Each structure stands twice: as C-alpha cells, then as structure tokens.
Structure 1
Amino acid sequence: MDTSNHNMVHRLFAEDKEIVLLGTAHVSKDSVELVNSVINEEKPDTVCVELCESRYQAIEKKDSWQNTNIVKVIKEKKTFLLLSNLILASFQKRIAKKFDIVPGQEMIEAINAGKSIGAKIHTADRDIRVTLSRVWNTIGFWGKVKLLFQLILSLGDVGDITENDIEKMKQEDVLETLLAEVGQSLPVLKKILIDERDMYLAQKIKTAPGNKIVAVVGAGHVKGIKAYWDDTIDLTSLDTVPPKSSMSNAFQWIFTSGIIILFIYGFYYGGTKAGTDMITWWILITGVLAGVGAVIAMAHPLTILSSMLAAPLTTLHPLIAVGWVSGLVEAYFSKPKVKDIESLPDDILSVRGFWRNKVTRILLVVAFTNLGASIGTFVALPLMIKML
C-alpha cells in the first residue's frame, strides 16, 4: 500500500472485530483507487459505506428517483428535503464534472469491490432525510432563510474551485463544505450535520456483521468516529425527527391570535377606517410578496394569482402554508412530464436548469412563496401598529 495514503487508513478494534477505517474525499480519483486496493488487500467480511439506505438504493436502482410523487412531497411538507438533496447532488456533480470524476465514485467502488470478494455491504450513515429534517426543525425562521439562500448560492459557478480545495474537502464533510458560512452563525448545524453523524457512523460500523470490516467514510468524519469509538451510542434518539416543540406550536397560535386581536383593536379603537386600512395593508403586503416569490420562481400566472390570494389567509393559519397551495397549483398547471424526470440529473447542474425543469421549479415555487409570505408578515405588522 502506498505510504502516502497511510494517514487515510486507521485500524480500530471492537471486541473480537478488526475495523479498517478508510478516510476518503467524495470527489477524488486517488480515493477511488485507494478504496479498491484496501478492500482487495484486506479481504473483509463486511464493507461499510457512508451511505444511508435510501442513497444506497439510489445507486443500486438508478431510476428509483423517477417514482417521486411531487404532489405527495408537497402534501407531506418535504419540499425542502427534496430541494436540498437535489442542490447537494448538484454541488457534487458539478465539481465531479470539472475534475472528470463520478460523484461518490469511492462509495460505488467500495460497493463493487466488496461484492467482488463476496463481502456483505453495510450502510452506516443516518438517513439524509432525518439529518435535514433535524436541521430544519431546529433552526428558527431567519436560520431557514440563511440556509435556503446558502443552498441557492451554491448553485453558482464552481470554476474557482481548485485541486487544493479538493484536498481541503478531504478533511471536511460535503454538507459541511456547502453550508460553511451558515454554520458559522448557526453552531447547531455542525452538531447535527457532523457530530451526530460521527456518533451514528461509529456505532453502526462497530456493530456491523463480521470479524473484519473495512469502513469507507469521508475523511472529515474520521476524527469524530475515533473520538466516539469507545462510547455506546443510542441510535434511536439520533434517528428521531424531533417534533416542533410545544412552545413553538403555542407561539404560532399566540402569534396568529395576536394579529387577529390587532385587527379587532384597530376597528374598536381606531374606527372603521383604521381597521379596514390594517386589513387592506395585511392583504396587500403578504399577498404581493408571496406573489413576488412566485414570480422569482417563474411560476405559472395562475400560481402567482393563487399565492397572492392565499397568502393573507395562510399567514394567519399555523397549519397551512402558502407554499402548500402554490405548489399544488403549479403542479396542476405545469404537470412534470417524463422528459422532466429523465432530464433532472442534467438540469440540476445549472441555475437555469433548476428553473427550467418543471420538477425543481415546483419546489422553488413552494420555497419562494413561503419565504415571500413570511417576509410580508414581518413587513406588515409594524405598518399596522403605526395605524393605531
């Protein structure tokens, strides 16, 4: 084995098991070659990969994503999860294209090399949907705004990324690289994206079947896995998506009640004109800004209209978001065709492609109309209070 790669190979032990922990870069040709040589030299009983079951199935059954039901995604409020997944895939694919490599090739190589020697393949990472859901449910409104914009900014040109940057990525997780700027102002991101997954990976790897195991993970996780190696980790708690806190739910209802009381107060103390003006401004500001969000997403004209009509009401209802309405309307009028599904892998490689593809455009409609209506709420409130 090449001695230059020794710092990427670590030997750990758990009871009667020997684990060869291999740190790789998700976008590196050297990592692919190293994975192949280590698995063929070590001949393990099991190969662990830094993939969750859903991402493993996506590799094994490349067309499984074509069964995505966009209406179901909207109704189950999983738009952000799918959009962020696609943006993350776009980030990796564009870097991989620039350096003429296949994104995640080292994981594919680990799977193929493991199968060729008859080893079991064991997925060791937490489901990406759980990780992103935990992030989304933990951060506040402005955290969500920062996160959304950071993801969208990542759709820009990767032309400035150099081979040295790729070397740096060997020391970081791809999600951490992508969300570095947001992570500086939201420390909870590192806890969920990196620390929790380090714990999860450590526990899944050391409890994998077999006496000899090769575990292929991103180099950014190696230090954390070793740090948590001797701990017993409760995977159930890490696999749980925490529901919104009762305090958060209570705040939403209190906020809604406060706005309604404000309307009543305006009519009672300011007279009919003041009350009517307050309602008018509420309808105009929340409706127009939701409509602006739909326009930015290049939505169908009737989607723009529906978002403007729905926003003043949905902003007063904690259980319904305007994006739910606008997304369903957009899905109805610009039904994604088979060609949109088939061209998705290519379309997510560019900003224009995200807006052109009907699938991703629907996701953008949901995101931007929700954002517009939320900003409208914060803009309208102080104006209404001034009218009293």
Structure 2
Amino acid sequence: MQMLLLKVSTHITEKLGMAPGGEFREVFKEASKVPFCKFHLGDQPIPITFKRAIDTLSFLQKIKLAWGLCFLSDPISKDDVEWCKQDSLEQMMAEMIGEFPDLHCTIVSERDIYLTYMLRQAAWCLELLHASDAECRKCVPSMVVGIVGMGHVPGIEKNWTTDLNIQGIMMVPLLSVSGRVSWLTMKAAFLGLLGYGLYWMGRHASSLVLSLPATQYCLQRAPEAWSHK
C-alpha cells in the first residue's frame, strides 16, 4: 500500500510539477529564518497511521483500494487544486467517507485529534513559560503557528475545546490467531512459488546451455583431449 501511495504521489508530481507536501518544506525554510523559532513535526507517526488504516479495511476493500491506486490516471491541474480549496473540499471528503468510511476515520478524523492535541500541548507549554518567568517572555516565541492540511482544519476547530485522549489512536491492533495463520500461509505460499520459479528457471537454463551446438562439441572433444594427455 505504501508503494502504491508513492505511485500516486509521483503521478501528482508529474501532473502539477510540484511535490505533495511542498508547502511544509517552505514552512521549514521560513521558520529557520525566525530567531528563537522551534520547528516541531507534530503529526501522527506514519507507520501507525498506515497500520491502523489498513487494519480497518476488509479484504475486499483492500483489493478495491489497491486496484484504484494501481490504475490511477485521472488528469489533475493547478486549477483543479484551487477549485478543491474553494468549493469541492467538503464534497471530496464526503465521497471518501462514502467509499471507505473506516479509512476516512483513521486517516482524517484520528489525525485531527492528534494534531489538535499537539497544538494544544505547544500552546500550553508556551503559556506556562510566560507565566512562570518574566525573563522568558523576551526570548521565548510569543505564538504557536500550526501548518496543517486544509482537510484537517474543521476537525481541529471541532476538537479544540474537548477532552482528548490520544492513547487509543496510538495503538496498533494485533492480528488475531486466524489472521496470523492466514498471513503465515500466504507468506509460505509466496516463498514456495518463488523458490519453485527459481528452480524451474535454473533447470531450463541448464538444459538450454547443454543443447547449444558449441557446448555439445566441447563435451564430445573432452574425452579425446583427456586420452591424449
């Protein structure tokens, strides 16, 4: 799934001439120019996001998602991106919810909670420093700026005044016994097919070499050379 998502990223880069996430690179460059500015990566770790997202999908949904990512070829332009910013973001999110509701919950809603928590923690630490020591006000930044994807803004605003517990969204569910058995069976079958394929290719390659005229001639001349010696 990660390889397929990288393929989607490459497709967008080729069509737009810009890499997804370019705005965050610009933020990092600008933040490095501000005195006493600390840059913090506050998103949910991507391995946890991917594992939780894939775990929510059924087998058929995984196949459907993989199929859609493999054959993604819809044209996209900068005008389309601007249109999404202004008019169709909610429509796009609604379509995603209808297609893969559990996936939307993990990739968007849970990360809304995580991002809100991290922003609130940063703001709380800043307020604590300012209240404890007047000297800190001169050297500590006076504000927290959060740069997030536009799809996360409504969720952050919604969660800002609620009690948040991120422990639940940081856990990766363990496979059940049947899931582990299925995974080991698929892995064994794949390795078995791979081994047989290598054996079949090696066997036919050796047969091809022995059938070559030059090889047959060398094998016929070898006994004569040994008798002369």
Q: With structure 1 as the length reference, what TM-score do the two structures score?
A: 0.40
Residue 121 of structure 1: SS of its match in structure 2?
Answer: coil
Residue 25 of structure 2: SS of its match in structure 1?
Answer: helix
Superposition map of 1:87-106 within 5 A: 87-106=4-23
CA distance in 1, matches of 2:19, 2:182: 43
CA distance in 1, matches of 2:30, 2:24: 10
Superposition map of 1:40-79 within 5 A: none
Q: Contact 1:150 / 1:182 at 8 angstroms: preserved in 2? A: no
> What corresponds to 1:153 in structure 2?
71
CA distance in 1, matches of 2:143, 2:97: 36
For each residue in 1:39-74, what CA deviation from the matched residue of structure 2 results, as whole angstroms up to 9, or x when unmatched? Answer: xxxxxxxxxxxxxxxxxxxxxxxxxxxxxxxxxxxx
Q: Contact 2:8 / 2:69 at 8 angstroms: preserved in 1? A: no
Report the alpha carbon displacement of residue 189 of structure 1 after superposing the two structures with TM. 1.5
> What corresponds to 1:231 in structure 2?
162
Structure 1 unaligned runs (5+)? 1-83, 254-313, 335-388
> What corresponds to 2:109 in structure 1?
195
Structure 2 unaligned runs (5+)? 127-141, 199-229
CA distance in 1, matches of 2:57, 2:108: 16
> What corresponds to 1:320 in structure 2?
184
CA distance in 2, matches of 1:186, 1:117: 41
Q: Contact 1:146 / 1:182 at 8 angstroms: preserved in 2? A: no
CA distance in 2, matches of 1:140, 1:327: 24
Q: Contact 1:203 / 1:232 at 8 angstroms: preserved in 2? A: no
CA distance in 2, matches of 1:217, 1:328: 45
For each residue in 1:248-279, what CA deviation from the matched residue of structure 2 results, as whole angstroms up to 9, or x when unmatched? Answer: 54xx39xxxxxxxxxxxxxxxxxxxxxxxxxx
Report the alpha carbon displacement of residue 227 of structure 1 after superposing the two structures with TM. 0.5
Residue 47 of structure 2: SS of its match in structure 1?
Answer: helix
CA distance in 1, matches of 2:7, 2:24: 17
Q: Contact 1:195 / 1:224 at 8 angstroms: preserved in 2? A: yes
Residue 40 of structure 2: SS of its match in structure 1?
Answer: strand
1:220 matched to 2:151: yes
Residue 122 of structure 1: SS of its match in structure 2?
Answer: coil
Find 2:56's aligned residue among 138, 149, 155. 138
RMSD over equivalenced CA pairs, Å = 3.3
For each residue in 1:163-209, what CA deviation from the matched residue of structure 2 results, as whole angstroms up to 9, or x when unmatched? Answer: 33212443759xx96x9867424311111111111111111112125
Task: Return closer, same or farther for 1:186/1:90 CA change in 2, 3 Å cut-off.
Answer: closer
CA distance in 2, matches of 1:180, 1:149: 21
Residue 212 of structure 1: SS of its match in structure 2?
Answer: coil
Answer with 1 or 2: which has the greater Rg.
2
Task: Return closer, same or farther for 1:148/1:324 CA change in 2, 3 Å cut-off.
Answer: farther
> What corresponds to 1:28 in structure 2?
none
Report the alpha carbon displacement of residue 129 of structure 1 after superposing the two structures with TM. 1.5
Q: Contact 1:147 / 1:182 at 8 angstroms: preserved in 2? A: no
Q: With structure 2 as the length reference, what TM-score do the two structures score?
A: 0.64
Give the number of aligned pairs.
177
The list of structure 1 runs, each at least 4 consecutive aligned residues, that deviate by more than 3 angstroms after superposition, is: 168-173, 179-183, 327-331
CA distance in 2, matches of 1:190, 1:151: 16
> What corresponds to 2:40 in structure 1?
122
Find 1:109's aligned residue among 15, 26, 41. 26
Q: Contact 2:16 / 2:76 at 8 angstroms: preserved in 1? A: no
> What corresponds to 1:162 in structure 2?
77
CA distance in 2, matches of 1:86, 1:198: 24
